[in-house]
Structure 1
Amino acid sequence: MNEYIHKNYKKAARIQTAVCGFLFSIFSFIYLYVFQCDVLEALHFSLAHGKTHFAPLPSAIIITLILLLLRWGVNSLLGLKGEVRALSYFPSCLILGVLTDVGRTVYMSDYHTSWGWLLPLILLIYFLVTFWLRRVFRVQLNVESSPMTLMNSNLIILLVFIIMTILIGNSNRTFHRELEAEHYLRNHQYNEVLKIGQHSTEASRTLTVLRSIAMSHAGTLGEKLFEYPQYYKTDGLFFANDSSSVLRYTNDSIYYLLGVRPYNGEDRMEFLHNICYKGTGKSTSLDYFLSALLLEKRLDTFATAITDFCESDEEFARYYKEAILIYKDSHPDYQIQITDSAMIQRYTDYKIRRKESGPLVQGSNLMRREFGDTYWWYFDYQN
């Protein structure tokens, strides 16, 4: 009878080992390949200085296999068994979390984290404490518990370690969106950049600039700019000067896109005005200039620039036409005519609804639901 119970216990132990190994493998692969792929790619770029190509699928598989081997080695060294066998996953889960605990300073030349000394210290404490506890509770570890208790105990331990991994890793949604947008931008997938956070009202300055660069490359700044939140005015076209708040792309990327660099201390609006009127910038500089004027709500200058650089019968981009409709309300004799009947009707509806919507703060939310993707809403309600 005892021999039968012993065989069942050993069988349950093997099943428990296989189940925990399978669950950890699935978690590790999905965590690395799906949820932390961009963070892992950023870490790879930083460590390799951009000299090697990052392959997400092989990287996720190889790291998972290494962590499984590490778990096997830890268990062989410590001899954990029974209801606490899953404690051997602690180093693997900890390292998995540390690998994905990457912040905005990852691309800085002196990038380092406290994990450089903290990880070895935690692992040393883990091995010493676990080895000591194994000696203290040697008799208890040799007791053969029921298969259900064996399975549940180890699954709970593994679940706790998985939660620990998730808490350690970078789960900042804004940071992930910026990394993903940067990845697509580097691969010239401009439409994919614009799909990131497409329906969200949240947008960091870095993500806003990355979107603007993608639109400029695709030639759709005038068509798509105000489909996305614009909280930063002209700053949303240029990165911050603080290198720790941006990623691999910097303002040098934008100056290359425009074809000219500004003088030291030159105002951005003045810089864009000069390269357009002097003809020193690339063709992309005009859309940047016109978009900057719209973002700053400088419609008088915008209306002048349109007549200076465009033919009056030219087919303008969507947001240029929307801005012209606003301008013509106060300047009915303005020479450029908008003939888009659908847009004119929608603008008429917008003005009617604006009067009906009530106070500015309350009306902003009501109007945004229907007209939040228009320049009209931005001009009237965005601070």
Structure 2
Amino acid sequence: MSKYILPYEKAARIQTVVCGLLFSVFSFVYLYVFQRDILEAVHFSLAHGKTHFAPMASAVVITFILILLRWGVNSLLGLKGIVRSVAYFPSFLILGALTDISRDIYMDSYRGYWLWLLPLILLVFIGTAYFLRRIFRVQLNKEYSFMTLMNSNLIILLVWALMTVGIGNSDRNFHHELAVERCLRAKKYEDALKVGERSLEATRTLTALRAYALAHVGQMGDRLFAYPQYYKSEGLFFSGDSLHDLRYTNDSIYHYLGARPYENESKLPFLQHICDREIGKYTSLDYYLSALLLDKKLKDFAGAMCEFYEENTRIPRYYQEALVMYQSTHPEYTCLATDSTIVQRFDAYKTRQKDFASPVEEENRMRREFGDTYWWYYDYQK
């Protein structure tokens, strides 16, 4: 004969199942969708890159373990009624701590403060909850309506969820860097170039990673200025500060170029040197020409194009735009022919510049209409 279930007991069970389901969904989505690259970085750091990362399996396993942790905590503390969901606090806190990492995650000396802070907070939580449970024992045993039970516990879950989101790393640029890096390691260069492609924000690390991806698909000259460029030629390389680099460093770029600079040699002379002596790989030329454009050295760029490009050779889009701009002030330059369509668009660009009364309006409107051109970069990018 089955045991008769009182209405309050049934409401409590429904509330327990609903809260468990909501936590499971939140944990899986948080780990698999929003913090996937953060979780992969933690895995790489702990395993030193020796094991394969499975994002879905990792999210499922972690969620399952945290559900078991909740049951363990509740068995210890005996929380029920309108505060039953308080037992999810350790699970939510671990989710936040697991995804609260910074750019020094790959350093051997990395020691996160959560290693000591997490156990301390959990001990304080268990001690405080146990103490308060004894004081408010009568209130815990009181029967509440179904809606009161649900609303109270859902509010508690919401607070814990907001806490987790607040603790975890939400730096969009860092997430973009990790996502691009993941695609590069998988040799999915086009996928890497789609990460944050509409954003006007770009760190130097992200800029260097994008240039690296463009070099692999052979389209630096066609797509470089479709992305924000805030660091001139230095943006083709990492800063050299290991706290800002991820698993790719300048050594990765030097290996790809097939040469290394001398000690204290600056990047532009290094690129010119390997192109002049032809000691690097063919991709070195794109790096060199792009560096000249980023530094707005049109005269040197025009000379390099004459030296390294032959007539009747396809000239990438941004190289043509730069040549058209140079030829507008140096009509004697006839080394290479440019596309008449690009010449017409440059004429439209110069005509449009005359239509604005204020510099601010001009810059903003020109960005909307010509922001993906080298001309906008040359005239407006500080």
Q: What does residue 181 of structure 2 align with?
A: 182
Q: What does residue 273 of structure 2 align with?
A: 274
Inter-partner Cα distance in structure 1 for 2:335 and 2:345: 19
Inter-partner Cα distance in structure 2 for 1:161 and 1:329: 62
Inter-partner Cα distance in structure 2 for 1:191 and 1:358: 40
| 1:29-63 C-alpha deviation (Å, 9 max, x unpaired) | 00000000000000110111111111000000000
Deviation at 1:191, TM superposition (A): 0.8
- Amino acid paired to 1:381: Y
Inter-partner Cα distance in structure 2 for 1:30 and 1:63: 12
Q: What does residue 88 of structure 1 align with?
A: 87
- Structure 1: tracts of 5 or more residues without a match: none
Q: What does residue 326 of structure 2 align with?
A: 327
Deviation at 1:278, TM superposition (A): 0.5
Q: Does 1:153 align with 2:133?
A: no
Contact conserved, 1:202 with 1:229, CA < 8 A, in 2? yes
Q: What does residue 122 of structure 1 align with?
A: 121
Q: What does residue 240 of structure 1 align with?
A: 239
TM-score (norm 1): 0.97
Number of residue pairs matched by the alignment: 380
Q: What does residue 191 of structure 2 align with?
A: 192
Inter-partner Cα distance in structure 1 for 2:272 and 2:87: 63
1:103-118 to 2 correspondence within 5 Å?
103-118=102-117
Inter-partner Cα distance in structure 1 for 2:224 and 2:290: 8
| 1:101-157 C-alpha deviation (Å, 9 max, x unpaired) | 011110111111111111111000111111111111112211111111111111111
Inter-partner Cα distance in structure 2 for 1:337 and 1:177: 38
- Structure 2: tracts of 5 or more residues without a match: none
Inter-partner Cα distance in structure 2 for 1:201 and 1:249: 23
Deviation at 1:335, TM superposition (A): 2.2
Contact conserved, 1:71 with 1:91, CA < 8 A, in 2? yes
- Amino acid paired to 2:245: V
Deviation at 1:78, TM superposition (A): 0.9
1:197-216 to 2 correspondence within 5 Å?
197-216=196-215
Deviation at 1:358, TM superposition (A): 4.0
Contact conserved, 2:318 with 2:373, CA < 8 A, in 1? yes
Q: Does 1:294 align with 2:293?
A: yes
Deviation at 1:367, TM superposition (A): 0.7
Inter-partner Cα distance in structure 2 for 1:267 and 1:118: 43
Q: What does residue 12 of structure 1 align with?
A: 11
Counterpart of 2:42 in 1: which secondary structure?
Answer: helix
Q: Does 1:46 align with 2:39?
A: no
Note closer, same or farther for the CA distance 1:314–1:358 as it changes in structure 2 (3 Å cut). Answer: farther
Inter-partner Cα distance in structure 2 for 1:227 and 1:143: 63
Q: What does residue 381 of structure 2 align with?
A: 382
1:331-342 to 2 correspondence within 5 Å?
331-342=330-341
Deviation at 1:21, TM superposition (A): 0.1
Deviation at 1:257, TM superposition (A): 1.1
| 1:259-283 C-alpha deviation (Å, 9 max, x unpaired) | 0010100011110000000010100
Inter-partner Cα distance in structure 1 for 2:181 and 2:130: 46
Contact conserved, 2:320 with 2:338, CA < 8 A, in 1? no
1:351-370 to 2 correspondence within 5 Å?
351-370=350-369
Q: Which deviates more from structure 2 when the two are superposed, residues 18-27 or residues 149-158?
A: 149-158
Q: What does residue 316 of structure 1 align with?
A: 315
Contact conserved, 1:262 with 1:271, CA < 8 A, in 2? yes
Inter-partner Cα distance in structure 1 for 2:215 and 2:359: 32
Deviation at 1:341, TM superposition (A): 2.3
Inter-partner Cα distance in structure 1 for 2:371 and 2:343: 17
Inter-partner Cα distance in structure 2 for 1:321 and 1:15: 67
Deviation at 1:193, TM superposition (A): 1.2
Q: What does residue 33 of structure 1 align with?
A: 32
Deviation at 1:234, TM superposition (A): 0.6
Q: Which deviates more from structure 2 when the two are superposed, residues 329-338 or residues 263-272?
A: 329-338
| 1:73-124 C-alpha deviation (Å, 9 max, x unpaired) | 1111111111111111000000011000011110111111111111111000
Counterpart of 2:280 in 1: which secondary structure?
Answer: coil
Inter-partner Cα distance in structure 1 for 2:236 and 2:337: 27
Deviation at 1:333, TM superposition (A): 1.8
Contact conserved, 1:190 with 1:215, CA < 8 A, in 2? yes
Counterpart of 1:106 in 2: which secondary structure?
Answer: coil
Note closer, same or farther for the CA distance 1:359–1:312 as it changes in structure 2 (3 Å cut). Answer: farther
Runs ≥4 residues deviating over 6 A: none
Inter-partner Cα distance in structure 2 for 1:371 and 1:81: 62
TM-score (norm 2): 0.97
Q: What does residue 217 of structure 2 align with?
A: 218
- Amino acid paired to 1:328: Q
| 1:226-282 C-alpha deviation (Å, 9 max, x unpaired) | 011111001110000111112111000110111001010001111000000001010
Inter-partner Cα distance in structure 2 for 1:136 and 1:304: 83
Q: Which deviates more from structure 2 when the two are superposed, residues 338-347 or residues 122-131?
A: 338-347
Contact conserved, 1:258 with 1:284, CA < 8 A, in 2? yes
Q: Which deviates more from structure 2 when the two are superposed, residues 351-360 or residues 317-326?
A: 351-360
- Matched-pair identity in %: 61
